[in-house]
């Protein structure tokens, strides 16, 4: 929340309590709709509804589209149906479909019949596209013209339809079958001669995405080509919608958050952390924690299996966390580097060998460094008592070298294997990798110790 | 790399080897500049330079701006200075400044004198802004008009200057002192009556950022208001540049990648993973790994200090990884949830108590779950032999409950403290948190064991 919205919050609250709606409207007059939305989100649901009704119908629509989905739903449930349907009708088609999907069943049944048949059909169609596809992300309010208009006619047309379109900065040229045959920017139109024909100045090699493309691919295309919006076509090349840059920003943020959560072994949340239900959070965290717990039971078993090795030399036990954390930390570094590079499209699974060789090298060098630090630590141990220092140092150094190299290899290859199999590379979270490395670390450590020290 | 660029790559290579530049140009004719840039990035430096020179001067400029910085630098070093200066002049001011900054000193000295004095001054000015500030991100090619023009005059003006502006979709209205007094969209202009005065139809409450604002705040403002671009003003309210939505997308991606790297204890890379130097990577990973290693030495010391406790009961040792991993995993979950929420602006440090109470609750419930699983595991241990099972189960359960609660508390509060102190919350990486939790875990575990089991 911004400081100036925070400052006027108490005033607004008091005016609402007094029922002085005119004064509320005056107070908000010069605020941007996004700031009014911000303010509204910080009010109680009933206050929020009162504030919303104090706005002019035009402002209501503009404020509404800046609200989070759960605040939108709360308003729909509290505000009179008449004005609310007007607001919903003013939303862009993608926002409208998202809202309808988020409404509880009974509210939906009250609102839907009040919407025009055409809009209801469109909502149904948009909701039929798979989640995370271009179709689910797109808006259907784009500006389209036939190829045989002149620039003057095209501008006249835009003046008529402009206010109802999501963007008129790109104008799409469709043939009589609605197939996408060209694109123009509003800049092109404004800069062109009024008598030029659209088909002579349009760009004919139009870059589009398919309606069933994944939203990450759509985001990557918009970014790559620096588009303000990208057209969406169906299997027959007919244009069905556009995805705009601000939708893409939302996708990028959402995907980054989901990846971060997955990498830390949290099943991705549906909504923001602070709005997630307490027990939803417990479930999304607990499931993974319990799975990881069972994984670590295997580390326990491994430790137990080597009891005869470590029980004879107490210092071996004290070194366990060093070995385990080094393998896990290195693996975690490798996996985050590879997962982000895959997500940004910097590498693909075809770069497999380059990545594996590089990580093998990284693992060996980092393992050598940590191994030497480990050797130094053992040799400096003044209180080693009856411990065969040189042998122990050698065993620790070799174990660290091996475990760190293994960590780098596993951390980098597992995400690439997952990606290759069509799975999400971030699913192999850093905690699961740590757990795997704990087991491998213990196996390595005790076998090296047995070999080198003859225990 | 896209499949169709991959398909024509061998052809292009062969034509370049034969020196048939006309045929190369024909082959690339229908490709989008971003795709030609993609292709060029996959060629050897010398081939890339040859391909670049085979393009028309106009295409060169368009392709160049889609290239990664290191490919740009490699081209500047290989292509003749005359055509190269033309390309550099065609770049937007922010891209030009970034490029000049990236050039090696001697190349810079060759190129700079060939640029017009005004451009050199501008580059110097842009480079003087702190990294990650609005000033370092902005472009200075915006469309500005005085308030007393008519709509017709404004459109005529845009037709003249349009081609050289980064965007003409927003037109900024400046008074005689260059102070920002209003804004119009091209859509407003196109939809307005030609005889309307700009000052009558412009939006007077202009939202702008300051030149020294942090790039994350700029990104958040652009997102919040759904702007295509945001104006940047200096301390006196004079407009000095714009930041466009595609710059903001780059910021979002960059910040997400940096956060992910920090959270996995990798010092953020300057460039992509695959292009980073081998020893740069070793340094950025090794520093943290060694620091963490020294941290884990404290865990070793803790373990060593409790030798008299665990040496009497081997099963206590086997349970160490369970305790340590549970604390670290829970802490990692909490910290990623809080760090992402802070980054997205969903919570601020003012939500401190809400977050702490929620995480305390999460920790207690998750700790109870893991504690019960731990108790179950100990009780089901068939081979416990001389172990006092009930006491051990109680000790393990209590330790898990404590450690998991501590993990949730530390994982959530430390990022908030860092944020409050003006530091980056992601600096407390998950590995450092795991390390802290290992030490606290061991202290908790052995003290609980001593208390409950009287060892």
**A340, part of any domain:** yes
Of A94, A128, A162, the position where a domain reaches its end is A128
Task: Concatenate the DSSP letters of all residues of B14-75 into one string.
Answer: HHHHHT-HHHHHHHHTTS-HHHHHHHHHTS-HHHHHHHHHHS-HHHHHHHHTTS-HHHHHHH
Give residue B54's domain range. 3-128
Of A128, A148, A170, the position where a domain reaches its end is A128
- Give SS3 for A185: strand
A403-434 pLDDT, tens digit per residue, is 999 999 999 999 999 888 888 888 767 888 99
**Strand ranges of the sheet holding B142-145, from the earlier edge strand across to the other edge:** B142-145, B167-174, B180-185
Task: Concatenate the DSSP letters of all residues of B223-235 into one string.
Answer: HHHT-SEEEEE-T
Query: Is the pLDDT confidence value at B245 over 60?
Result: yes
Distance to chain B for A106, nearest Cα, Å: 29
Distance to chain B for A226, nearest Cα, Å: 6
Please tell me the distance from the alpha carbon of residue B380 to that of residue A374, in angstroms, as a whole number: 37
CATH of the domain at A326: 1.10.357.20
A240-252 pLDDT, tens digit per residue, is 999 998 888 888 8
Same domain for B69 and B153 = no
**A294, part of any domain:** yes
Residue A33 structure tokens: 């709709």
Query: Is the pLDDT confidence value at A1 over 80?
Result: no
**Nearest Cα residue in chain A from B286:** A366
Instruction: Give burial (CB, 10 Å; 0-12/13-18/19+) of A340.
Output: buried
Residues of chain B with C-beta less than 8 angstroms from the C-beta of A30:
205
Cross-strand bridge partners of residue A335: none
Contacts 24+ apart (CB under 8 A), A50-57: A50/A16, A50/A21, A51/A12, A51/A16, A51/A24, A52/A79, A53/A21, A53/A79, A53/A80, A53/A83, A54/A16, A54/A21, A54/A22, A54/A24, A54/A25, A54/A28, A55/A25, A55/A28, A56/A25, A57/A83, A57/A86, A57/A87
Same domain for B64 and B123 = yes
> What's the pLDDT score for residue A172?
96
Query: Is the pLDDT confidence value at B383 over 60?
Result: no
pLDDT band at A345 (very low <50, low <70, confident <90, very high): confident
Of B128, B153, B184, the position where a domain reaches its end is B128
Please tell me the distance from the alpha carbon of residue B299 to that of residue B448, in angstroms, as a whole number: 17
Q: Is A130 on the interface with B (CB under 8 A)?
A: no
Same domain for B142 and B83 = no
B128-148 pLDDT, tens digit per residue, is 999 889 999 999 989 999 999
> What's the pLDDT score for residue B431?
87
> What's the pLDDT score for residue B363?
95
Sign of CA dihedral B321, B326, B328, B332: positive
Q: How many CB atoms lie within 10 A of CB B136?
A: 20
* B366:A285 CB<8 A: yes
> What's the pLDDT score for residue A272?
84
Interval B333-353 mean pLDDT: 88
User: Contact at 8 Å (CB) between A235 and A30?
Assistant: no
Buried b (16+ CB within 10 A) or exposed e, A168-178: bbbbbbbeeeb
Residue A53 structure tokens: 């009704």
pLDDT band at B365 (very low <50, low <70, confident <90, very high): very high
Same domain for B120 and B191 = no
Residue A229 structure tokens: 């919006």
- The conformation of residue B269, written as its DSSP 8-state character, comes to P
Interval A225-241 mean pLDDT: 93
Same domain for A102 and A179 = no
Same domain for A346 and A244 = no
**B260, part of any domain:** no
Same domain for B411 and B297 = yes
**A343, part of any domain:** yes
Instruction: Give burial (CB, 10 Å; 0-12/13-18/19+) of B40.
Output: buried
Same domain for B112 and B147 = no
Among A30, A269, A293, whose Cβ lies nearest the Cβ of B205?
A30
**A43, part of any domain:** yes
Query: Is the pLDDT confidence value at B3 over 80?
Result: no
In the stretch 45-64 of chain A, residues with CB closer than 8 A to chain B read none
Instruction: Give burial (CB, 10 Å; 0-12/13-18/19+) of A361.
Output: middle
**B176, part of any domain:** yes
> Percent of chain B, pLDDT > 70?
98
Interval B88-94 mean pLDDT: 89
Q: How many CB atoms lie within 10 A of CB B287?
A: 14
Cross-strand bridge partners of residue B210: B233
**A227, part of any domain:** yes
Per the structure, how many domains does chain B have? 3
Query: Is the pLDDT confidence value at B369 over 90?
Result: yes
Please tell me the distance from the alpha carbon of residue A244 to that of residue B154, in angstroms, as a whole number: 27
> What's the pLDDT score for residue B2?
59
**Nearest Cα residue in chain B from A205:** B30
The full length of chain B comes to 455
Please tell me the distance from the alpha carbon of residue B378 to that of residue B387, in angstroms, as a whole number: 10
> What's the pLDDT score for residue A386?
66
Among B296, B431, B435, whose Cβ lies nearest the Cβ of A332?
B431
> What's the pLDDT score for residue A382?
56
Query: Is the pLDDT confidence value at B43 over 80?
Result: yes
Query: Is the pLDDT confidence value at A229 over 70?
Result: yes
**A325, part of any domain:** yes
Phi, psi (rounded to 5 degrees) for A244:
-95, 165
**Nearest Cα residue in chain A from B191:** A159
Give chain A's mean pLDDT: 89
* A335:B264 CB<8 A: yes
Same domain for A296 and A428 = yes
Interval B12-17 mean pLDDT: 88
Query: Is the pLDDT confidence value at A148 over 90?
Result: yes
CATH of the domain at B201: 3.10.580.10
**Strand ranges of the sheet holding A239-244, from the earlier edge strand across to the other edge:** A209-210, A229-233, A239-244
Query: Which of A9, A289, A306, A334 to mutate: most B Cβ within 10 Å?
Result: A289
Query: Is the pLDDT confidence value at A253 over 90?
Result: no
CA atoms within a 13 Å half-sphere pointing along the CA-CB vector of A102: 18
> What's the pLDDT score for residue B232?
96
Interval B432-441 mean pLDDT: 92
Same domain for A444 and A319 = yes
Same domain for B141 and B119 = no
Query: Is the pLDDT confidence value at B385 over 80?
Result: no
A282-298 pLDDT, tens digit per residue, is 999 999 999 999 999 99
Interval A123-150 mean pLDDT: 92
Same domain for B359 and B435 = yes
């Amino acid at each position: 929340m911004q400081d100036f919205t925070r400052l006027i919050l108490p005033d607004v609250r008091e005016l609402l309590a007094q029922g002085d709606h005119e004064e509320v409207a005056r107070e908000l007059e010069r605020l941007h709709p996004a700031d009014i939305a911000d303010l509204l989100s910080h009010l109680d649901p009933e206050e929020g509804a009162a504030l919303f009704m104090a706005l002019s119908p035009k402002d209501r629509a503009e404020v509404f589209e800046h609200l989070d989905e759960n605040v939108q739903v709360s308003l729909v449930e509290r505000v009179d149906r008449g004005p609310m349907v007007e607001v919903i009708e003013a939303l862009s088609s993608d926002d409208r479909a998202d809202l309808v999907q988020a409404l509880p069943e009974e509210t939906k049944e009250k609102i839907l019949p009040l919407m025009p048949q055409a809009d209801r059909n469109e909502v149904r169609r948009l909701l039929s596209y798979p989640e995370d596809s271009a179709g689910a992300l797109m808006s259907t309010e784009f500006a389209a013209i036939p190829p045989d208009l002149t620039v003057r006619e095209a501008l006249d047309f835009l003046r008529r339809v402009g206010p109802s379109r999501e963007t008129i900065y790109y104008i799409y040229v469709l043939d009589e079958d609605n197939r996408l045959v060209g694109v123009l920017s509003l800049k092109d139109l404004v800069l062109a001669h009024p008598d030029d024909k659209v088909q002579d100045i349009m760009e004919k090699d139009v870059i589009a995405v398919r309606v069933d493309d994944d939203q990450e691919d759509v985001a990557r295309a918009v970014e790559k080509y620096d588009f303000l919006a990208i057209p969406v076509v169906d299997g027959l090349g007919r244009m069905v919608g556009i995805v705009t840059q601000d939708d893409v920003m939302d996708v990028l943020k959402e995907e980054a958050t989901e990846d971060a959560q997955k990498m830390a072994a949290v099943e991705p949340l549906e909504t923001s952390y602070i709005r997630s239900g307490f027990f939803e959070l417990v479930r999304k965290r607990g499931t993974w924690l319990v799975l990881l717990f069972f994984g670590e039971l295997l580390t326990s078993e491994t430790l137990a299996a080597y009891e005869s090795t470590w029980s004879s030399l107490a210092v071996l036990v004290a070194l366990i966390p060093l070995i385990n954390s080094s393998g896990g930390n290195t693996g975690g570094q490798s996996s985050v580097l590879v997962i982000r590079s895959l997500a940004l499209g910097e590498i693909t699974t075809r770069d497999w060998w380059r990545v594996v060789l590089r990580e093998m090298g990284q693992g060996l060098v980092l393992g050598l460094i940590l191994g030497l630090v480990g050797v130094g630590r053992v040799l400096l141990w003044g209180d080693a008592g009856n411990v065969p220092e040189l042998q122990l140092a050698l065993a620790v150094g070799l174990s660290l070298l091996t475990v760190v190299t293994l960590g780098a290899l596993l951390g980098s290859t597992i995400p690439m294997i997952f990606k290759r199999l069509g799975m999400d590379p971030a699913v192999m979270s850093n905690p699961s990798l740590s757990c795997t490395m704990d087991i491998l670390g213990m196996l390595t450590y005790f076998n090296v110790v047995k070999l080198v020290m003859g225990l």
